[in-house]
Amino acid sequence: MDINLNAFDIPVPIDHISFALGNNKLHQLDILRLDKLHDKISGNKWSKLKYNLLHASQLGAWCIVSFGGAYSNHLHALAYAGKLFKIKTIGIVRGEAVNNPTLKDCVNWGMELHFVSRKEYSALLNNETTNHLSVILEGAYMIPEGGNNDLGRKGCAEILQHVDAEQYDIICCAVGTGATIQGIAKSYSGAIWAFSPLKNARALKQSLDQSIENCRYIDEYHFGGFGKFPKEVTTFSKWFKHNHNIELDKVYTAKMFFGIQQELIKQDVPHARILAIHTGGLQGNRSSIPAEL
């Protein structure tokens, strides 16, 4: 495996949009278009993989294994990275075997998939079991679900190199495992609004509250929870695309931008300079079946 870490050191565009807040009020917003980083490994997933791939290669690991749901942007990105950097990848997928565009890509790019029950999934994730899979995975380099480890967070600390972060009063980012925002917080001291599509994710809220000063965990806009997409979300995405010519992913960024607009209507922060991070994930929009956590 030959990892060229600079392969993705490319400028990422920043868009400027205005949000209508009613009463003829507008609020300017900058958007860091991490979704434009690469057409396959888009958004924050490259940041989380970067140092993990390097470490795996330094260790001479024969394979990289990671975990995710059937629509996982993380597994999708890892599979492509495996193809690009010529290293074998294995994806442990939670739940019954399905065939969707995400997993089809993974297989086409050479990832070996194993579907396991939720129970087995948690046990494997926490290294609490030995079964046929643990034997297969011996000597493999393990990346936790969502790339949420120290090396993943280290990569995310570099995300703000694309912008002059200190000019912003608030940075908005969608959260799943929280790795991205924890990385970002290492290189930014202003306020952070963490938009969560998860319902009742108390452990996540607690860990972000404890690890990041100045972090507002906002989960009012989960729309029923992870992988739930009521019509309001789709309508908002269509409106956003029509108005700003930016596609949002339905799992994370559509809910976040909806939330940002609502918060700007509710909160009185008329002069706040805001940067919202478009973390990508657009590959997931191809699946019409709702994703599940």
Ligand X SMILES: *Cc1c(COP(=O)(O)O)cnc(C)c1O
Binding site for ligand X (CB under 6 A): 43-44, 73-74, 146, 174-181, 249, 252-253, 279-281
Kindly report the backbone phi and psi dihedral angles of residue 139, in degrees, each rounded to the nearest multiple of 5, phi listed first: 80, 0
Minimum CB–partner distance for residue 248 and ligand X (Å): 9
Closest distance of CB 282 from ligand X, Å: 8
Dihedral angle at the C-alpha atoms of 27, 30, 31, 32, nearest 10 degrees? Answer: -160
Compute the Cα dihedral for 96, 97, 103, 109 and give only its sign. positive
Q: How far is residue 206's CA from residue 210's CA, in Å, rounded to a whole number?
A: 6
Nearer to ligand X, 124 or 181 (CB): 181
* Comparison of 1 and 78: residue with beta carbon closer to ligand X: 78
C-beta of 203: minimal distance to ligand X in Å? 13
Residue with Cβ nearer ligand X (44 or 237): 44
Q: In the Cβ-directed half-sphere of 205, how many Cα atoms lie within 13 Å?
A: 12
- Shortest approach of ligand X to residue 174 CB, angstroms? 4
Q: 193 - beta bridge partners? A: 172, 216
52 or 177: CB nearest ligand X: 177
| Residue nearest ligand X (C-beta atom) | 281
**Which one, 44 or 261, has the nearer CB to ligand X?**
44
Supply the minimum distance, in Å, between the C-beta of residue 69 and ligand X. Answer: 11
**For 92-117, b where at least 16 C-beta lie within 10 A, e where not — what string?**
bbbeeeeebebbebbeebebbbbbbe
Question: By 3-state DSSP, what share of the chain in percent is helix, strand and coil, each rounded to 5?
Answer: 40, 20, 40
